[in-house]
Structure 1
């Protein structure tokens, strides 16, 4: 009887883990990202989702390498406004073209501050770039590569203001 119970528990736990780590391929006005999902680039190089840094109870939305066993975060949306660990939050597209991080009280924690006259989607490409684009014309409205955090990936832009911040930080 004990072996059957263990087998059932093993099967249930594998199913729960599969549900918890489900992936989606895009974010839109009708398909959004919650803690139960991740957005994965087409060939599975990068993931975007909710994560906790180290032993912190704070929660962030970021992009990391999917196939590296040690989570290596390369971009963070809400790095200056972390979310409480127990909160229920979503990353979604609102008012066509604006990708926002909304907390459980429906307050906007982070936003791309973009708009479009048509419906937009957000996708993660294989370079690690989160792109918000018009659904039909595929015109780029916003991309994470224009807003680097601590890690530079090939194709990211380093603006003068970013270099000035680096210079000030290194001179401390």
Structure 2
């Protein structure tokens, strides 16, 4: 595994696209392809709306809503930390560096970032012309490749086959120069 001392040392690559383009579907294929190559990816996903991973009626939900700023729920198999962030409840994109700092660098080899398209990091755009949306690489910085089902695009970089997560995993490994 890759030897890092902090989450800031973990290599990152983003996946950016318009909603409905298939970022999550693609990542669901890329993650096992990376794991098959001996890598342990961590994921940070941006949600554009208020969300909750807890359920009303559960003790953890009730304790958090009673005023706990942090709620850690743990079992023998997993744990989840929920942190209230009312100071950033203004619609702004959360700070990606702060979120990355919350990851355990001993448990991951790289960070895959879904969303955060305005953040400065290398990105793979997921583009499906059938959605009728303009490509993001014309509007945002950092797009290093486009995963697409288009035969051609006016992109000056690699076009990756959107339905081939193994090829995308290989591109990520080469681009980030990760040696599992």
Query: Going by fraction, where is strand more abundant, 1 or 2?
Result: 1
Does TM-score exceed 0.5, indicating one fold?
no
TM-score of the superposition, structure 1-length normalised?
Answer: 0.27
Structure with larger RCO (C-alpha < 8 A, sep 6+): 2
TM-score of the superposition, structure 2-length normalised?
Answer: 0.26
